[in-house]
Amino acid sequence: MKITWNTDIYCLIGHPISKTLSPIIHNSFYKLINANNIYLTFDVEKRDLETIINSFKILNIKGFNVTLPHKISIIKYLDDISEEAKIIGAINTVKNKNGKLIGHNTDGIGFLKSLELEGIDIKDRNILILGSGGAANAISVSVSMAGAKKIFISNRTLAKAEKLTKRIKKQFPEIAIEYGDLELKNVPKNEIDMVINCTSVGMYPKIHEAPIEFQGFSKNLIVYDLIYKPRKTKLIKMAQRRGYRTVGGLSMLINQALCSQNIWIENKNYNFANNFEKIRRILDTYVE
């Protein structure tokens, strides 16, 4: 990588941000497209957020990603936010457009892009979403936008599932949506086409846990686990033992990063799917 006086700076802010794969993904992408850009990470605590955002404007940082705990609190410091980010209610990507900071959310579109690359169509499908945190919010919106027929939201804390269900019902009145807990007593399991794990159950270091059992689901079930560390979660292993098709979280991680790049970089003279595949291969050496 060659750093010059006019290298454009992009970055990630969050707290904590140790061990994030984002710099590897973004800097590999810059190398692939031969861009004079660099992607860094900054550990930013809540109390410093406003100062940092103002400094980014002064330093002309061209764009940045936002992760926990700032995905919602950053909104008040931005000049505008995209329609999708408004519906999701959280930001993961900010573009500096001539000094104005515009917030976006690429989690949902990154998820849909990963389905597209896998050749999976969720239109008119029945989807079971596990979890009701930040990721579940973005995924429920994108699944609704993609035309799912019926959505079930199941979460450990019922009140959070209820809140998310009400939000989706308000934004997408045409979609049938129900909520419940992780025992899934209200879910007609054999009618579910896809289960999407948006909980953190199974994530490193708690790798021996799974959020649900698979009794009663149809043999054509697709299981998508957003967790990418470990690559094969307990849930994915359980699903594979039953012969279900599975997708792991690494694909979404790379796709949401490439969707951020699509927002930041005006000249899109590159092949999205090609770069996805090359970056996936690079990450093979980093994630077991």
Q: Is the C-alpha dihedral spanning 71, 75, 81, 85 positive or negative? A: positive
Residue (88 or 253) nearer to ligand NAP, CB: 253
Give the one residue of 131, 224, 239, 264 binding ligand NAP; rule: CB under 6 A: 131
Residue 155 sits in the site that holds ligand NAP (CB under 6 A):
yes
Of the candidate residues 108, 134, 180, 230, the single one contacting ligand NAP (CB under 6 A): 134
The DSSP result for 171-235, as a single string, is: H-TTSEEEEE-TT-TT--GGG--EEEE-S-TT-TT-TT--S---TT--TT-EEEE---SSSS-HH
> In the window 51-90, what residues touch ligand NAP (CB under 6 A)?
none
Q: Does 157 bind ligand NAP (CB under 6 A)?
A: yes
Q: Which of residues 84-123 bind ligand NAP (CB under 6 A)?
A: 107
Q: Do the strands 93-97 and 63-66 form a parallel or antiparallel pair, or are they unpaired?
A: antiparallel
Rounded Cα distance between 31 and 47, Å, is: 34
Q: Which of 2, 19, 71, 100 is catalytic?
A: 71
Q: Write down the least CB distance from residue 203 to ligand NAP, Å.
A: 4
**Per-residue tokens: 55:** 């400094």
Q: Which is nearer to ligand NAP, 257 or 265 (CB)?
A: 257
Query: Quick one: which of 256, 260, 261, 275 contacts ligand NAP (CB under 6 A)?
Result: 256
Type of residue found at 72: I
Cβ–Cβ under 8 Å, residues 149 and 176: yes
141: contact with ligand NAP by CB under 6 A: no
Whether 95 is a known active-site residue: answer no
Judged by CB, which is closer to ligand NAP: 37, or 92? 92
Question: Which span sits near ligand NAP by CB under 6 A: 42-50, 150-158, 165-173, 267-275?
Answer: 150-158
Smallest distance from ligand NAP to CB 263, Å? 16
Our CB check for ligand NAP shows the closer of 192 and 198 to be: 198
Are the beta carbons of 148 and 124 closer than 8 angstroms?
yes
Q: Segment contacting ligand NAP (CB under 6 A): 18-26, 149-157, 163-171, 272-280?
A: 149-157
Give CA separation, 280 vs 137, 141, 237, 257, in Å: 25, 26, 20, 12
Of 249, 264, 265, 283, the one binding ligand NAP (CB under 6 A) is 249
Shortest separation between residue 225's beta carbon and ligand NAP, angstroms: 9
Cα separation, 285 vs 265, whole angstroms:
27
Give CA–CA dist 245/239, Å, rounded.
7
CB of 180 to ligand NAP, least distance (A): 13
CA distance linking residue 72 with residue 69, whole number of Å: 8
Site for ligand NAP in 185-214 (CB under 6 A): 198-201, 203, 211
Q: Is residue 49 part of the contact set for ligand NAP (CB under 6 A)?
A: no
Cα separations in angstroms, 78 against 57, 93, 102, 145, 262: 11, 11, 6, 25, 19
Tell me the one-letter amino acid at 229.
K
Q: Hey, what amino acid is at 271?
A: N
Question: Where on the chain is the footprint of ligand NAP (CB under 6 A)?
Answer: 107, 131-136, 155-157, 160, 198-201, 203, 211, 226-228, 249, 252-253, 256
The set of catalytic residues is: 71
